[in-house]
Every structure is written in structure tokens, then in C-alpha cells.
Structure 1
Amino acid sequence: MATSTFKTLFKLLGGDQTLKLKDFPLDNLRIDSRKVKENDAFVAIKGSSVNGRKFIPEAISAGAVVILIETHKKSNDLKIDYLKKDNQLVIPQINVFQLSQRLSEIANDFYHSPSKKLSVIGVTGTNGKTTITQLIAQCTTLLNDKTAILGTIGNGIYNHLEPSINTTASAIDVQSLLADFVKKNVKVVAMEISSHGLAMNRVKGLNCAATVFTNLSRDHLDYHKTMSKYAQAKWSLFNPDEKEKHVSNSGKSIINYDDKYGKRWIEKLSQVTAVSCQPKFLRRLKALNTPYVGVSMIEYHDKGAKIHMESTWGNAIINSRLLGEFNVSNILLAIATLLTLDYPFFAVINMASFLKPICGRMEVIHSNNNPTVIVDYAHTPDALQKALQASRIHCKGSLWVIFGCGGDRDTGKRPLMAEIAEQFADRVVLTNDNPRTEDEMNIIHDIQQGFHNNKEIQVITDRAQAITQTLAKAKPNDVILIAGKGHEDYQIIGKTKYHYSDQETVKQLLGIESQL
């Protein structure tokens, strides 16, 4: 069944309805020519590295019946040219003024505002997005709500995800995926929203039931250039100023009070729930004129934590199976989101104790008489520090860390990662982590600038060998944190993506399956 028609598309673009245009069905908008099928409209915009106009012939050959291109001249807006197919001028090409900025809203209208028919929960922040969306999906699924996820690990119905390329999909793919979820009777969508996604207007047509802020620390400065611009991109998800909004509706806000940016943002928002995992802040939370979720005490142990929670909705004890203080924060933010959306208090609390660790997020692999291995996605200074601090709680011997830094990305964080590793680990091994087109030794050299005692640092660029040699040296009471890749099952060297998995490497060496 067609999603729309050519005349309908032209109308939602603002086109003149008195024009005599031939009408025909349209099934989908496509921004990737490789996904184009019969009766699709192909959107050819200029990306960060490739100009979509280059692929117009390919899209027409695949069956595209309409082409949208961007014009920077307002006078050319909605001008229609015709392109050849089978030597006939039959494919309308519409010039659209500021197409890139408008694309999310255009796609939203084309797919009949799917986010208004779903309970979309948008999660943003430097760290924790994947864990929180997964925890929300686990909980709502246990509560019998059909739930989907859009994010780093994949897109789709919970537990049936298709791999994703970006944390936040393109403006068109977001709306297309949401429309598909509506057809499949999904009720809840837990969605990661990256700073890139916000800055590039990928979610401008989105209606959220709730938006969540986790934390903000150094990352992506290769793109945003300054922390101020990075913070502004995140804030745009919540900003109540209509002129500055980066979503159609941000819904109710759930904000981490423990983050310095979060503290400031809570004061600017009206419909907001404040969340803290710091017992010292409980009194302040109670004094706020807003709903809150906090803790009076946290008891950490080898298998997780016992959380003494207090909130506007009631008090409870939660037995968490996730490691580390930052995961207490993630759990509380997930719980606060569901409570803010009027899920029953006791049902949410009962489900919370069943929540399982997330793939590649403080994922424990252990067997008798071998070191405990923890695989985590930590690839920022703040995330690495928190992962090491969490690992230390469960370490009775030496704490090892194996990490690297991505090539063609923010170089300024590399020595900061070294400082953190040296401060919080006993033994450090540097290795590759998606060097891409950079020389691997240049990346290692950048990291080494942050160490005060390079003699204690081992360099093994081959990641599998780094893990192999570390496991051979470590003792049974030691803990080895392998940081940076988490769920990723590839290594990018040059422009080639090779299959590689930290988990598979460890399991093969130890001959075991992952367990808690």
C-alpha cells in the first residue's frame, strides 16, 4: 500500500495546488540510493563526505519516480525539472529550499506523524544512552508493552534489532522506522538521540512523550569544536524556546541532577523530574519544586548493588545486577522516566530487580581460576574513569585496563584518557581501537603524552594479541577492563571494516560463555 502520492508530497512541500501535475503513488522517501525500490522518492542532499546528487542515476535505475534536491536560492524553491528515464523526460526533480534543515519535518508529514501515535522516549547525553534505552525497553517489555529501540546497538523491536550505522539514524530513516513500528503495533520507542543527530536536524519532526538527559563530558569535539557548542546541541532537545527547538515536542524531561549541566537545566524547565544517585543530594532533591528520584544509601557488592531509593512516588529497595555507580544512575533515570510517564510504581519497582546488564556495557566474563574480564564501551575520559572505578569495587588483585583511541576523531581526548588510565588502573596496555585512516603509532603517541611514567605502559597494537598477552600475565584475583569497543564486532583499519569482537576473543581464550 502506498504511503502517499506525488501531489500530496508536493503539497506538504508547500507547492502550488493549482498546478496541473500528473499524480502517482509514492511508497517511501529514501536518502540512500541503495535502498531505493519501485515507486520511491529519492532525496539527494550533500552529506559530510558524499553529495547525494552523484547517485541520482543509480536511484532512477532502481525505481525512483521522484527526486528531491536542495537549492540555496529561495527563488528556485519548488521549481520542477524533469529527468530522463528510458530516453524520456518523465522523472520530476523538485528543487527544495533548505531541504537539509526541513527534511525531518518533511519526512514526518510524509509518514503521517508516526511519533504522535507512539510513546517515544528520547535519551541524550555523552554516556549511558544505550544502557538507559535498553533498560527502559526491558522494563516496558516485562510490563507487556510492545517496545522498539533506535540506537547504537541496533534498530527494531526489542530483542530483534537490525544493526545501525549511526547512533541516531537519518532524518528520513527515523520517521520511516517509526512508521513501521506503528504498523507493527509498537507502543513504546526508546531512542538514543546524539548531539550529531540534533545538530544535523535529524529529529526536528519528532514528538517525544519524554526526553532524558544522562550527563555531559568531553566527546565529539572534532565535530562540535567546543564544549559550549556540544552542550548547546544537547540542550536543544529540551530547550523550551520555540525558535531554538530541535524537536517538535520534547515532552516531559528527566534530568540527571548529578551532572553540572543537568543542575542548571532543571532550573530552566517546567515539566521536569530530577534524578540523583548521590545520597548527599537527597535533601536538595526534596527541596526542589519538582518530582524527584534519589537515594538514601547504596550498598555495592560483587554482583551489583542494593539501592535504597526515595522518590515523589514512594520509597523502595532495588537489587541491581549492574556494576558501578554510573549504572545506579542509569537505572534510576530509567525508573524515573517510566514513573514520569505514569507507569504504576510497584510494577516498575518489581521489574527493576529483573533488569539485565547490556551487551558491551560493563559486561562480565569470568571462569574459575582465571582473571575476571569486563568489556565496556567506555571511549571518553569520563566514561573510562567511571568504568575503572566500578571495576575497582570488584577487584581483589590488580586492575588492568586495555584501551586505545579512535582514528580520525577528537585528538584532544587522547592524553586525557591516558591520565585517567594511569590514575585509576594498576597496569595499562595500549592497543588499537578503530585507527581508521590514521597511522596507529601516531594515535598511540598522542595517548602517551598523558602518561607520567611510560615505563609502566605496555603497547600491543594488535587488539587480540593485547588481550591474549594480558590474560596470560594476569592472576585469578585480577580484573581486566577492556574498554572502547563494547558491543562492536568490527575493527576499522584504513577504510576497511574487519570482523573483530572483544567478547569473542576473551571467550575463545577462556573457553567459556559470558556469565554474571
Structure 2
Amino acid sequence: MKNKRLSELLSDINVLKLTGPADCTISSLAYDSREVEKGTMFFALKGIHTDGHKYIEKAIASGAAAIVHSDDPDTYHKDITYVKVEDCRRAMSPLSSAFYDHPSRKLKVVGITGTDGKSSTVSMIHQLLELCGRKAGFYSTVNYKTGDSVAKAAIRQSSPEAPTLHRLLREMVENGKEFAVIESTSHGLSYRTSRLADVDFNGAVFTNVTHEHLEFHGSLEQYRSDKANLFRMAKDFAVINRDDENYRVFEEASPAPVKLFYSTVSEEADYYAADARPDSKGTNFTLYKAGKAFPLRLNIPGLINIENTMAALAAVEQISGIDFATILKAVPELKSVKGRMAHIEGSQPFDVYVDYAHTPGAYEKVFPLFRKAARNKLITLFGSGGERDTEKRPIQGRIADSFSDIIIVTDEDPRLEDSMTIIREIRSGIKNKTEGKDLFLIPDRREAIRKALELAGKGDMVITLGKGHEGSIEYADGHHPWDEISVVEELLKEMGYR
């Protein structure tokens, strides 16, 4: 990326005060002082556990040319440019877009929001576009693609901070992509973070809203409103799950001229799925659109993926203009996202699945599927994230209790919270199990998985929920490497299975 003059970047923000050289040269952007180099514009962000203003001097020592700040620093260096703004994080979004030459304006961008199903829908949209011969990039919780290969998302943010996102969008432009598919979280869409505020969205997709992230948003109403920001921003079309009770919030938020609905309940929806016939490998179903019936085979298990497929079909048809019949031909070729209902193959006489489900809404969708598929006992292992929505913990426990024969509660991402405090809050929702008999509280996730596998007998099913694709468990001392599928496979091998 070529260097920019400061004057090229400031037109879209309100500068309260400019101190120092009026038009310095900016070579990069950073909000982490450890990533600052010569010519960097450093953003002094205020976070939950620290304040970027404390690292201004360190950033300058590393070569920062400009400091974006909201509080006055103790010292002003005459050769450094200081840009005072009301909110550094909000200013970071338009500055990032400008630094990377507003890349989203050069792409057709669709955003996907909802509590559950975002990553799968992102993947499906991207796959359908590429299977139809169109060049597309994407970013999701699991991975991303800006060029020819898919890379694992290194950070635990579904919506990265603005400098990262606009850099990735710029890479898509430079690599000749026509489309960008962006997982759009409530955090990223909130005005408090403004991570996605300066992305030029053509289309918006809504999957569902359930109990999640209330520790950040404060209320379900604010959670819905923050997600609906995507629909306020998307200028061309909106795709909405008609079956979700909150669908009108998103319909009313959208000024787009085209609004499309999908459903597994209402025949009046633009895309309606019926006659679902699931098996262990996927589902046969009939899609109804504009009075026509289309028999389809989806080779991804889970009825929830019928909903995700309809959302993806609607989005691809709108954003690409590809003939619908051509898009439908690609549906059987769709592949699942890693860590979503992943079946662990092996010689063990019981089934093992790894899944990312970690919200009450996701639990309500996946548990009936697992319960129906289990030939004998259903053994469930799960936890709940620390420093996140605490109200959902007993709800998770209650749902698991109603479907499972044996429950093991363990760590998910305790962060700075005490593991056993989280586990006991989950346990408070489990009323029909006895500790030591069919309920076990084991913080160490590896040992908890070992226990679940040891308890499994012929025909049983073990499901481990909450981690899925994630590459770490977050404790008070940082991120510990983790790969749930690999851990399960290692433990099965230790038990003599292959």
C-alpha cells in the first residue's frame, strides 16, 4: 500500500485539535503499540482492560508519525502530529477506509448478521459464487480469503478492527475479486466499536436473534438494533429469515428497494423449503420460489443448514445476477465449515461430534438433531464463555438437561473469570441430573473430553459443544492453543481406537 499524506485522510472525521506537522506522511495504521513502525498512525484506543493512551510514548519510540487520541497526552513532541478526536475508535473506521482507498466501494459487498449461522452462510455464499465462476473473497470467524487460498482467521473476532478489515478488502480488490462476503457481528456493527461503519454494503442477510452478548449491548432491544445497523447501511437488497420472531425489526430498518424473505414455515415467503428428508450425510428437500418447485440435495447435515442455504441462494441471486437455475446446480457441491457438526471417524463403537454451538438458540436447533440421531445415550460436553453474557449460562444448562442422558460441564473460555463460578452457574439450570452419576463438573477441557469418551458405550453419542473450529482456549494468562477435533482424535487413539 502506498504512503498517504495526512491531509488525504482527515476529510471524513471531525478533528477537535491538530498539533504538530500539519501534513505528515503515513505509511501504516496500528492500534497495538507493538505493531508500530516508522511512519505509522497510532490509535490510542480505550479498552476494557487497558488504555492506548498509556502506550503513546512507546508508539512514538517505535517510529509513529501521528497519534490519534481523545485525551491530551502528558507530553507533545514537536516532530509528531497529534490528531485529537472525540472517540478514537469511531475515527479509526473512516481513517482506515481512506488509507486503503475505500476498497469496499470497488467491490460488491454482502454482510451476514445473526446470532447463529453467520459463518456457515458466509461460506455458502462464497462457495456458490465461486462454483458459478465468479471471483469472491470473504471473512468469517473461521477463516478468510483475499487471494487464491483460504487462511485461518488468526484473531478471535468475527468482525476485525477497521484497519484489518479494510486492509483485507484492499487485498481482495488488488487480487481481482468482484465480491466480498463479510460476517457482520453485533459488536462490529455497534456504533461503540464502528468496525464496520465505513464498509459500503450492497446487501444484508439476517439469520436469527437469540440470547447472546447482552453483557456488551445491555439489552435484547439494543442487541437487535445494533445488528439492524447492517440493514440500515445496505443500499441494494435485504434477505431476512421470516421464521424469526424479530424479523420485522430488520425489515423496517432496511431502506433497500429489494426485500426478500426465506422460511421453512410460511409458504408466502420468497424462498420456502418443505418436505425435508434428513439423513446422516445431509438433507433432501424441496425449495419453492415464484410458484416453482425445485428438488434439492444438500450434502451438509443439520436442518438449520436448509435455512442457511436459502439465505445464501437469495443473496447470490441478488448480488450477482446469475441465473437461478445455474446457482441451484451448485448446491449439492457445498461443503460444511470446519467444526460445525463435525463427525469424528474412527473404530470406536460410538459416535462423536464436535460442534460450535454456544448459544441457547443454537442449542435449541442442534440438540433435537443429535437426540434423534443418537442410537443410545447422548453424552453432552459444554461450557460457557467468561466475561460474556452470564444470563445464558443456566439456560444452556436447562436445554442440555432436557435432551442429554449424561452431561459434563467444562471450560470454554474462562478469561478472567473463575472457571468453577461459570460451571456452577451453568449447573444451576440442570435440575434432573446427579453429580457423580450423570453430571460431572470438570474444568480441564481435555480431561472432561477424556471422561466423556470413557463413559461412552456401544451405540452412544458424544457431542462436544462450544469450541468447534477455534484454535485456542482463553484463560486469565492468555490464549492456550487448542484444536478440539485433534484433541478428540488423540484421546480416542490413547484409548486404543484408530
Please report the TM-score for the alignment, with normalisation by the length of structure 1.
Answer: 0.87
Percent identical: 28
C-alpha contact (below 8 Å) 2:20/2:82 kept by paired residues: no
Q: Does 1:176 align with 2:176?
A: no
C-alpha contact (below 8 Å) 1:324/1:389 kept by paired residues: no
Distance in 2 between residues matched to 1:315 and 1:37, nearest whole Å: 58
C-alpha contact (below 8 Å) 1:82/1:90 kept by paired residues: no
Residue aligning to 1:475 = 457
C-alpha contact (below 8 Å) 1:145/1:187 kept by paired residues: yes
Distance 1:70 1:430, change over 3 A: same
Q: Does 1:490 align with 2:472?
A: yes
Q: Which moved more, 1:227-236 or 1:470-479?
A: 470-479
Q: Does 1:339 align with 2:317?
A: yes
Letter in 1 for 2:380: V
Q: CA offset at residue 449 of structure 1?
A: 1.1
Pairs within 5 Å for 1:70-109 = 70=70, 83-84=76-77, 89-109=78-98
Q: CA offset at residue 63 of structure 1?
A: 2.3
Deviations 1:184-228, CA, capped at 9 Å, x for gaps: 222222111111111122111111121111100000111112111
Residue aligning to 1:212 = 205
Question: What is the number of equivalent residue pairs in this alignment?
Answer: 482
- SS for the counterpart of 2:231 is coil
- SS for the counterpart of 2:329 is helix
Distance in 1 between residues matched to 2:253 and 2:28, nearest whole Å: 39
Distance 1:3 1:422, change over 3 A: same
Distance in 2 between residues matched to 1:125 and 1:162, nearest whole Å: 19
Distance 1:210 1:476, change over 3 A: farther
Q: Does 1:124 align with 2:109?
A: no
Letter in 2 for 1:321: N
Distance in 2 between residues matched to 1:326 and 1:178, nearest whole Å: 29
Letter in 2 for 1:159: V
Q: Cα RMSD (Å) of the superposition?
A: 2.5
Distance 1:442 1:93, change over 3 A: same
Deviations 1:361-384, CA, capped at 9 Å, x for gaps: 111112244321111111111112
Q: Does 1:272 align with 2:259?
A: yes
Letter in 2 for 1:25: T
Distance 1:402 1:21, change over 3 A: closer
C-alpha contact (below 8 Å) 2:351/2:461 kept by paired residues: yes
Distance in 1 between residues matched to 2:204 and 2:188, nearest whole Å: 14
C-alpha contact (below 8 Å) 1:306/1:318 kept by paired residues: yes
Residue aligning to 1:75 = none
Distance 1:346 1:82, change over 3 A: farther
Q: Which moved more, 1:479-488 or 1:4-13?
A: 4-13
The one of 380, 383, 393 equivalent to 2:359 is 380
Q: CA offset at residue 14 of structure 1?
A: 6.2
Please report the TM-score for the alignment, with normalisation by the length of structure 2.
Answer: 0.90
Distance in 1 between residues matched to 2:291 and 2:102, nearest whole Å: 32
The one of 220, 227, 234 equivalent to 2:227 is 234
Distance in 1 between residues matched to 2:38 and 2:174, nearest whole Å: 21
Distance in 2 between residues matched to 1:262 and 1:318, nearest whole Å: 26
Residue aligning to 2:302 = 324
Which segments of 5 or more consecutive residues in structure 1 lack a partner in the other structure? 73-79, 240-246, 286-291
Q: CA offset at residue 162 of structure 1?
A: 4.1
Distance 1:313 1:201, change over 3 A: farther
Letter in 1 for 2:105: K
Residue aligning to 2:419 = 440
Deviations 1:407-443, CA, capped at 9 Å, x for gaps: 2222211110111001122221111112222222221
Distance 1:344 1:92, change over 3 A: same
Distance in 1 between residues matched to 2:249 and 2:194, nearest whole Å: 24
